[in-house]
A = this chain, B = another copy of it.
Amino acid sequence: MTDTAASSPIATEPLAAAASDPNLLGWMQGSPPPPERQVRFDDGGMYTFPKLRWAYSNIRRLMPTTSVSRGNGPVSVLPRADRDDIDEVMFQPIGRTDSMSWAQSLDANYTDGIVVLHRGCIVHERYFGALAAHRQHIAWSVTKSFFGTIAASLVVEGRLDPQASVSTYVPELAASGIGNATLRQVLDMTTSLRYSEDYTDPEAEIWQHGRAGGILSRPADDAGPASFYEYLATLRQAGPHGLTFAYKTVNTDVLGWVLRRITGVSLSDLVHQRIWSQLGAEQDGDLMVDSTGTEFAGGGFNCCLRDLARFGEMVRNDGFYNGRRIVPTAALADIRGGADPAHFAHAGYVTLPGASYRDMWWVLHNEHGAYCARGIHGQGIYIDPKAEMVIARFASHHIAGNMGIDPTTLPGYHALAKHLMAG
Task: Answer whether A64 and B66 are a contact pair too, CB < 8 Å, given A31-B261, A284-B284, A291-B40.
Answer: no
- What is the CA–CA distance of A41 and B62 in the complex, to the nearest angstrom? 15
Binary contact track A43-81/B, C-beta < 8 Å → 1, others 0: 000000000000000101111111101011001000000
Q: Among B28, B33, B60, point to the contact of A67 (Cβ < 8 A).
A: B60
Q: Is A119's CB within 8 Å of the partner chain B?
A: no
Q: Is A32's CB within 8 Å of the partner chain B?
A: yes
Whether B64 pairs with A62 at a CB distance below 8 angstroms is yes
Whether A61 pairs with B134 at a CB distance below 8 angstroms is no
Shortest beta-carbon distance, A207 to chain B, in Å? 19
**What residue of chain B has the Cβ atom nearest to residue A42's Cβ?**
B291
Task: Answer whether A31 and B260 are a contact pair too, CB < 8 Å, given A42-B291, A60-B60, A60-B66.
Answer: yes
Binary contact track A24-36/B, C-beta < 8 Å → 1, others 0: 0000100111000
Q: Is A294's CB within 8 Å of the partner chain B?
A: yes
Q: Is A331's CB within 8 Å of the partner chain B?
A: no
Whether B31 pairs with A72 at a CB distance below 8 angstroms is no
Shortest beta-carbon distance, A77 to chain B, in Å? 13
Task: Answer whether A292 and B42 are a contact pair too, CB < 8 Å, given A66-B61, A284-B284.
Answer: no
User: What residues on B are CB-neighbors of A39 within 8 Å?
Assistant: 293
Whether A63 pairs with B64 at a CB distance below 8 angstroms is yes
Shortest beta-carbon distance, A10 to chain B, in Å? 32
Shortest beta-carbon distance, A126 to chain B, in Å? 19
Binary contact track A186-230/B, C-beta < 8 Å → 1, others 0: 000000000000000000000000000000000110000001010
Shortest beta-carbon distance, A130 to chain B, in Å? 13
- What is the CA–CA distance of A58 and B67 in the complex, to the nearest angstrom? 10
Q: Is A282's CB within 8 Å of the partner chain B?
A: yes
Whether B28 pairs with A293 at a CB distance below 8 angstroms is yes
Q: Is A257's CB within 8 Å of the partner chain B?
A: yes
Q: Is A38's CB within 8 Å of the partner chain B?
A: yes
Q: Among B32, B42, B65, B293, point to the contact of A38 (Cβ < 8 A).
A: B293
User: What residues on B are CB-neighbors of A227 within 8 Å?
Assistant: 32
- What is the CA–CA distance of A96 and B201 in the complex, to the nearest angstrom? 69
Instruction: Provide a sorted-by-A list of 8 A–B residue pairs whose CB atoms are within 8 angstroms.
Output: A31-B257, A31-B294, A40-B292, A41-B64, A42-B291, A60-B60, A71-B134, A72-B134
- Residue ranges of A at the interface with B (Cβ–Cβ < 8 Å): 28, 31-33, 38-42, 58, 60-67, 69, 71-72, 75, 134, 219-220, 227, 229, 257, 260-261, 266, 282, 284, 289, 291-294
Add 18 more A-B contacts to A31-B260, A60-B66, A220-B220 (CB < 8 A): A31-B261, A31-B266, A31-B294, A32-B227, A32-B294, A41-B64, A42-B291, A60-B60, A60-B65, A60-B67, A61-B64, A61-B66, A61-B289, A61-B293, A62-B64, A69-B134, A72-B75, A219-B220
